[in-house]
Chains A and B, each alone.
Chain A
Amino acid sequence: AQSVSQHNHHVILSEAASLELGCNYSYGGTVNLFWYVQYPGQHLQLLLKYFSGDPLVKGIKGFEAEFIKSKFSFNLRKPSVQWSDTAEYFCAVTGNNAGNMLTFGGGTRLMVKP
């Protein structure tokens, strides 16, 4: 069975600090990987995705993530966070044979202090 683990449940940073959120998954086959963000009072939005190709993917708002197959990881990074990045971040995975069944991690709540 698929599983996704996000190591940090709560992260507090000051503006301009660098961000790295960890995500590890467990799945025996080829995977598609996603990071979604949920801003306060808003619905889940796609930040970035990895299906194949270059393991370093760039998303919206300056976010990027690196797929490291040997480590089963897909960590999210941003060099300099802003107050507006305060949100909950979810890593998700679906296997190529699992249709659209997304398995989500538990989420990481990020608070950026102005």
Chain B
Amino acid sequence: KAGVTQTPRYLIKTRGQQVTLSCSPISGHRSVSWYQQTPGQGLQFLFEYFSETQRNKGNFPGRFSGRQFSNSRSEMNVSTLELGDSALYLCASSYRQAETQYFGPGTRLLVL
């Protein structure tokens, strides 16, 4: 079974731009969560989607948003990029909520 895939793997943007990242969960998984990983703050939860509905949201500004499609694929969007948004963005999927999450390779975003 294929794992979680994320596209693109690397991205360079400039301040003020917006970016959309994509995540395809493991086949059959309906829950998708997003995390931000930085050297300073570590791994932080962004949001979780299950059956196209946002179920939980972390402590991030409204510039960070996401959605989930009927095939469980998910996208996250960051508008008005700031330098501090440079990070590795990880997507994780699970069959249901409160089950083991499996992580993708991440999208490394660099904001210049």
Please report A residues at the B interface, Cβ cutoff 8 Å.
Answer: 32, 34, 36, 42-46, 49, 90, 92, 94, 96, 98-107
Q: Please pick, from A34, A46, A101, A106, the residue contacting B42 in the complex, using a CB distance under 8 A.
A: A106
Give 29 A-B contacts (CB < 8 Å), ordered by A residue: A34-B100, A42-B105, A43-B103, A43-B104, A43-B106, A44-B90, A44-B103, A45-B103, A46-B100, A49-B100, A92-B43, A94-B98, A99-B31, A99-B48, A99-B50, A99-B56, A99-B98, A100-B48, A100-B94, A100-B99, A100-B101, A101-B45, A102-B33, A102-B35, A102-B92, A102-B101, A104-B35, A104-B44, A105-B42
**Minimum Cβ distance to chain B for residue A90 (Å):** 7
Q: Please pick, from A34, A43, A100, A106, the residue contacting B33 in the complex, using a CB distance under 8 A.
A: A100
Please measure, in the bound complex, the distance between the C-alpha atom of A43 and the C-alpha atom of B88, giving whole angstroms: 11
Contact B56–A101 (Cβ < 8 Å): yes
Contact A107–B103 (Cβ < 8 Å): no
**Minimum Cβ distance to chain B for residue A103 (Å):** 7
Residues of B in contact with A, size category:
20 to 34
Please report B residues at the A interface, Cβ cutoff 8 Å.
Answer: 31, 33, 35, 42-45, 48, 50, 55-56, 58, 90, 92, 94, 97-106
Q: Which residues of A contact B97 (CB under 8 A)?
A: 99-100
Contact B48–A101 (Cβ < 8 Å): yes
Contact B56–A46 (Cβ < 8 Å): no
Please measure, in the bound complex, the distance between the C-alpha atom of A98 and the C-alpha atom of B101, giving whole angstroms: 14
Contact B42–A100 (Cβ < 8 Å): no
Please measure, in the bound complex, the distance between the C-alpha atom of A100 and the C-alpha atom of B25, giving whole angstroms: 14
Q: Which residues of B contact A98 (CB under 8 A)?
A: 56
A98 to chain B: closest residue by CB: B56
Contact B56–A107 (Cβ < 8 Å): no
Please measure, in the bound complex, the distance between the C-alpha atom of A100 and the C-alpha atom of B53, giving whole angstroms: 13
Please measure, in the bound complex, the distance between the C-alpha atom of A106 and the C-alpha atom of B44, giving whole angstroms: 10
